[in-house]
Amino acid sequence: MLVVTGCDSSEGKGDAGTVVEDGGPDAGPDGGNEDAGLGDAGTDPLACEKQHGVCAGAKRALVDGAYEPECTALSYGADYERAETRCDGLDNDCDGVTDPSFSSRVTNLEMPYVNGLSILRTDQGVFVSMSGNGVRILRLNTDLVLQGTGTVSMPWTRKDVPVGESFAAKLLRTQDGLALVYATHGPGLRPPFRTYLVPLDAQGSPKTGPEGELLEYPLVDWQGDGRAPRMATSPQGDRVVVVWRTGTEQTPPFQVMGAVTDLRGQVLVAPKVLFTSPERKQPWTSDVLVLRNEEVLVAVTDESPALGGDTVRLRRFDTHLDPVGDERSFELAYGAAPQLVELGATRGGPLESPVLLMRSRVGPPWVTQVQVVQNLFSGGMGETWSEVPAPQVVWYGALADEGVLRLAWLSEYKDHEAPSPGGDPMLGWTARLWTQDEGHSLVDRTPGLEDLPLHRYSQWVLMEKLAPRRVGALYMTSTVEGSSLDAVRYCTP
């Protein structure tokens, strides 16, 4: 398989990797004869300058009794584009490259790394949220070009309340429109744990009340400690489910809690215990989905001491957060990083369409696998999609695209024998960017030949559909000059 990656440009693809060069106009046997002329209606048309792709065999069109001096779409046909934008399996701009990828820098970041990231498609493109000093919401168009930025400030900057820290946020689609749900805790991971819902306007800015005040609805007020929160909305977009971990070595037991509210914070299910971990194991809330039958599916990772391995636990709960059916579990090496993806009705009923993604290390020789588990409630087991050799580590994102599962990941590595750039031990990681579509082989989407420079915590990839057959993957790169949010747009099979 030949994989070609290009750079975005208003005039064309730029450096498109391995490209067949036009080598100048190919105008037939008289192409270099200045006396040949362009001719008129009484002569045969000359061949057009471009002869690759949809331009193959094109000859100059007759316009007002004379042939075009330079070929345009009139000569090349309806499939021709001056700069390729379509994902149609054709070389539309006739440069020898079909459906190229485009890379771009979305924005420079104001901090070494960001967390609390999420992405959500909008009518005009996508929103991307990231936590820091407040939550920033980037508004991007379908070319992943930054159009504007909104900010959700924290309660202690607006009200007379104790100072805390924001550490998780997620963009959600509700029956009232798009919203941000974010979580806070006290300084140093101390209590209390709280979550809030903020409605957003079409520009990604918080909606305000009649006196200009930010509209914000408290969802969970938990006076204990809370970590690793995960949030999801119901299929109708009228309820919010929040799950989180509580407990420390000093204040056992370790448990995973859950609560349900409406969009205004009215408590529908008060905080209750969903999982209790065995002694000496620490649970981490990994993901939550509200299925199409309104059941809640929660994935939890129980970590063994001293990186001794992970147990990924999976369980369904009803609308009251009471258990339904049997719990499933998977024994894996440390760092399973499970994710849940709802593929939708085209993949079957509500219990057939969700899938579980996990990392698995197997060997020797040691490799890290990306595994997908389908048929979660009828005995489905992990299917290996791809694998990378040790010591590379996979950090991945996933997308359900009209029933098709698509993945993108960074295969991360650091040479610890080499000096870190600028003496910063958080720098020096590198990676390739890969994608894989269900039923197809993996593709290297890294822009250019050099590996991507990463920060130690460049441990995520965001994915979203941008247009028919076009997907965007966003990730963070870092050098001594700072960190940036970068993107690749590519065509799917």
Asked whether the predicted pLDDT for residue 29 surpasses 80, the reply is no
Whether residue 4 contacts residue 16, with contact meaning beta carbons closer than 8 Å, is answered with: yes
Average pLDDT over residues 41-58: 91
CB 469 within 8 A of CB 453: no
Q: Which pLDDT value is given to residue 204?
A: 95
Q: What are the Cα distances from residue 60, in Å, to 32, 36, 97, 400?
A: 16, 14, 23, 44
Helix and strand numbers (H, E) in the chain are 2, 32
Mean pLDDT, the chain, rounded, equals: 91
Task: Give 157-199 pLDDT, tens digit per residue.
Answer: 988 888 888 889 999 999 999 999 999 999 988 999 999 999 9
pLDDT at 76 over 60: yes
| Predicted local confidence at residue 40, as pLDDT | 59
pLDDT of residue 191: 93
Nearest to 201 by CA among 101, 145, 122, 301: 122
User: Rounded mean pLDDT of 289-311?
Assistant: 96
Task: List the one residue out of 302, 327, 297, 322 whose CA is nearest residue 312.
Answer: 302
Task: Give residue limits of the domains in the chain.
Answer: 391-493
pLDDT beyond 80 at 133: no
Main-chain dihedrals φ then ψ at residue 353, nearest 5 degrees: -85, -25
Alpha-carbon distance 373 to 381, whole Å? 5
For residue 34, pLDDT over 70 is answered with no
Helix, strand or coil, per DSSP, at residue 217: strand
Instruction: Please tell me the predicted confidence (pLDDT) of residue 461.
Output: 98
Res 344: pLDDT: 97
pTM higher than 0.85 for the full model?
yes
- Of 432, 430, 447, 441, give the one whose Cα is nearest residue 488: 447
Q: Tell me what percent of the residues of the chain surpass a pLDDT of 70.
A: 91
What percentage of the chain has pLDDT greater than the value 90?
81
Tokens of 247: 């407990």
Does 321 have pLDDT greater than 70? yes
Higher-pLDDT residue of 485 and 37 is 485
Can you give the pLDDT at residue 42?
64
- Do residues 170 and 180 touch, judged by C-beta distance below 8 A? yes
**H or E segment and range at residue 158:** helix 155-158
Q: Sheet containing 146-152: which strands, arranged edge to edge?
A: 115-121, 125-132, 134-141, 146-152
pLDDT bin (cut points 50, 70, 90) of residue 72 is very high
Q: What is the pLDDT at residue 41? A: 57
Instruction: Please give the helix or strand (H or E) that residue 229 lies within, else none.
Output: strand 227-233
Residue 87 has pLDDT above 90, yes or no: yes
What is the pLDDT at residue 39?
Answer: 52
Residue of 228, 207, 212, 229 whose CA lies nearest to 220? 229
pLDDT-derived band at 13 (thresholds 50, 70, 90) equals: very low
